[in-house]
Chain A
C-alpha cells in the first residue's frame, strides 16, 4: 500500500459559542486506507466531517487534502477535489427520482454547457448517455437499479442510506466520508452493507473514513481507528489497541450507548 497521506488534519478546533465541539484534533489518512472514527453521542464526529467537507470553517487549524489546503474553499469545490460524504440524517433530493439523485452528483464531470443542452447536440447526448450508464452501474452494485425511477423518498430507510452512498460515489471521489451508514439497519442489512463498502473500496480505489456507532462492526473492517470523546482524540490505533484501551472503555461506559439516530446534523 502506498504510504502517501491523502488527508492531513492539523490541529483543527471547532468552537460553538462556549462549546468546543472538536478540540485541536490531529490525524491523517493514507491513500487506500479504511479508517474508523468512533465515539459516544455528541463526541464531535459529525462536526469533524462538516469541517473536512467545508460545511463549517474550523475556528483554528487546517485541513490539507491531496496536498491542497482547504481553507476558504466551499463544499462544492472540495467535492471537485475528490472528497465527498454521506449524511447521518439522510439528505437525499427527496422529490427527485433515485436515478436523478445520482445524475446530479455526476454533473461536475460534464463538459457541455447550457447551450448544448438547449440544442441537444451530439456532445450533450453523448455525455448524458454515459452519465446515465455510470449511474445505473453504481445503482446496480447496490441493488437499486430496479428502483431507478422511483422517487427517492419512497425508498425504505435502509435503501435511502445506500442511495446516499451511491450518490456520493457518483462524484468520483478519492476519499469518501461515511457518517453512520448503517444507522437504523438490522444486523443482516448492516453485514451486507459492510461487504458492499469493502467491494466498492476495491473497485473504485477508495479511501474511506467511516463513522460508526457499532463498535463490533468498526473493529471488523477498519485498519485503524480513532476515538473521539468530548471533541478530544483519546485514542488511535489498530482495532486491538482500541479494544484494550482503558480510556476508550471508560468513555463508552461513562455514557449510555443507545443509538441516537434522531440526531439532526
Chain B
C-alpha cells in the first residue's frame, strides 16, 4: 500500500482493480457517484495547492473548471473520436487542451491579482467565476443558457471507460502536486504561506511562486471540468456556480490546509454526505440534509479546527505507529 503511494503505475493499477470490483458489485448510481468523487478529488487536490500549500485564497475554482469543461466539450464536437481501443487517447487529449486553456485563464487572472499584497485574489477569482458563467450563458455556440447537449462520452461499458479516464487524471494530479510540493521549488510555495517577507529575503520570488501554484491549480481544475463534461455528456453554465467553488474550498478547509490525504478524504465526504442523508429526507418529509450537512461541518471545525489532517498526511500516522 505504501509502495503504491510511491509509484504512480502501481497506484493506477490499484485504482483500476478497485474499479473492476465496483463495476460488478455495485449499481449504476454508486458507479456514477464514484466518478463524481474522483472529479471532486481532482478539484480538492488542485485547490489545496493554492489555498492550502501556498496560503492564498481562491474562490473561483468552478470558473476554471468551466473553462476546461467547455473547451474540451467544444473540441470534441469538432474532431472525431479515435476508434476503439484508442478512444481513451481522444479523451486524454481533450482534457489536456481543456486543462491548458484553464491554465492560461489562471495565468491571466492570477498574474495581476497575485502581484498585489492582500486578499485581491479572492475578489478577482470570485468575479472571474461569475463572468465565465455569464459569458457561457450568452454564447450560442456552446448552447447558451439551455446548455450544451450531446457531448461525446466514453462508449460502453460507460462506467468503466469513464472511470479509467478519471483514474488516470486522479493519479497524475496526485503525483504532480505531491512531487512538486516535496521539491524545494514547492517548498517555496509553503514559505510564501508561512512568511512572505522572510521568503523574499531568502531569495524566493514570491509572486512567481504564487502564480506557478495558481496556474498549476487552474490546469487541474480544467482537467476536472473535462472529465465531468464527457462523463455527463451535458453541460450547463449553472453547473459551475459559486456554490461549486465554495464546495471546493470546504473540501480543502475540511481536509486540512496543505494535506493531500485530507483533500482526498474530504472530497469523498463532501460528495457522499448529501446523498447518504437523502433517505432521511424521504423519511421525515423535510429537507434536513443541508441542516445536518452544515451542522456536521461546524462540529468538525470545532473539534478539529485545522481540518481532519491539519498539514499532516495519513502516512505520517502510519509511520509513527510502525516506528
**Contact of B261 with A by CB under 8 A:** no
Interfacial chain B residues near A168, Cβ < 8 Å: 201-202
**Contact of A114 with B by CB under 8 A:** yes
**Contact of A141 with B by CB under 8 A:** no
**Cβ–Cβ contact B203 & A171, under 8 A:** yes
**Cβ–Cβ contact B195 & A108, under 8 A:** no
Interfacial chain B residues near A45, Cβ < 8 Å: none
9 contacts between A and B (CB under 8 A): A74-B205, A79-B202, A91-B201, A96-B187, A104-B199, A114-B216, A117-B183, A118-B180, A171-B203
CA gap between A198 and B46 in the complex, in Å: 47
Flag A55-94 by CB within 8 Å of B: 1 or 0 each.
1000000000000000000111001100011010001111
**Cβ–Cβ contact A114 & B185, under 8 A:** yes
Interfacial chain B residues near A108, Cβ < 8 Å: 203-204
Interface centre among B204, B206, B216 (most CB of A within 10 A): B204
CA gap between A135 and B317 in the complex, in Å: 26
Closest A residue to B208 using CB positions: A76
Interface centre among A85, A118, A128 (most CB of B within 10 A): A118
**Contact of A131 with B by CB under 8 A:** yes
Main secondary structure of the interface of B (DSSP, over half): helix
How many Å from the CB of A166 to the closest CB on chain B?
A: 11
**Cβ–Cβ contact B201 & A107, under 8 A:** no
**Cβ–Cβ contact B201 & A79, under 8 A:** yes
CA gap between A228 and B190 in the complex, in Å: 37
**Cβ–Cβ contact B180 & A104, under 8 A:** no
How many Å from the CB of A230 to the closest CB on chain B?
A: 25
Closest B residue to A173 using CB positions: B203
Interfacial chain A residues near B212, Cβ < 8 Å: 114
**Cβ–Cβ contact B180 & A114, under 8 A:** yes
Within 8 A of B (CB), among A29-73: 53-55
Interfacial chain B residues near A103, Cβ < 8 Å: 184, 187
**Cβ–Cβ contact B202 & A167, under 8 A:** yes
Interfacial chain B residues near A120, Cβ < 8 Å: 179
Residue in A93, A113, A117, A170 whose CB lies within 8 Å of B198: A93
Closest A residue to B176 using CB positions: A118
CA gap between A79 and B202 in the complex, in Å: 6
- Which B residues contact A (CB, under 8 angstroms)? 175-176, 179-180, 183-188, 190-191, 194-195, 197-206, 212, 216, 311
Do A107 and B194 form a contact, CB below 8 Å, given A76-B205, A76-B206, A95-B311? no
Interfacial chain B residues near A94, Cβ < 8 Å: 194-195
Interfacial chain A residues near B195, Cβ < 8 Å: 91-94
CA gap between A150 and B205 in the complex, in Å: 26
**Contact of A219 with B by CB under 8 A:** no
Interfacial chain A residues near B191, Cβ < 8 Å: 93, 96, 104
**What's the interface size class on A, roughly?**
35 or more
Residue in B187, B204, B216 whose CB lies within 8 Å of A100: B187
Do A107 and B187 form a contact, CB below 8 Å, given A93-B195, A94-B194, A118-B175? yes
CA gap between A112 and B188 in the complex, in Å: 14
**Cβ–Cβ contact B187 & A104, under 8 A:** yes
CA gap between A104 and B189 in the complex, in Å: 10
How many Å from the CB of A169 to the closest CB on chain B?
A: 11
How many Å from the CB of B91 to the closest CB on chain A?
A: 22
Interfacial chain A residues near B199, Cβ < 8 Å: 76, 93, 104
Interfacial chain A residues near B203, Cβ < 8 Å: 76, 79-80, 84, 105, 107-108, 171
**Cβ–Cβ contact B188 & A53, under 8 A:** no
**Contact of A231 with B by CB under 8 A:** no
**Contact of A106 with B by CB under 8 A:** yes
Interface centre among A87, A106, A107, A117 (most CB of B within 10 A): A107
Residue in A91, A167, A171 whose CB lies within 8 Å of B197: A91
CA gap between A55 and B202 in the complex, in Å: 12
**Contact of A142 with B by CB under 8 A:** no
How many Å from the CB of A64 to the closest CB on chain B?
A: 19
Q: Beyond the given A95-B194, A104-B204, A107-B185, please list 10 additional residue pairs across the A-B interface where CB-CB is below 8 A.
A: A74-B200, A74-B205, A75-B197, A93-B198, A100-B190, A107-B202, A108-B203, A117-B179, A124-B183, A170-B202
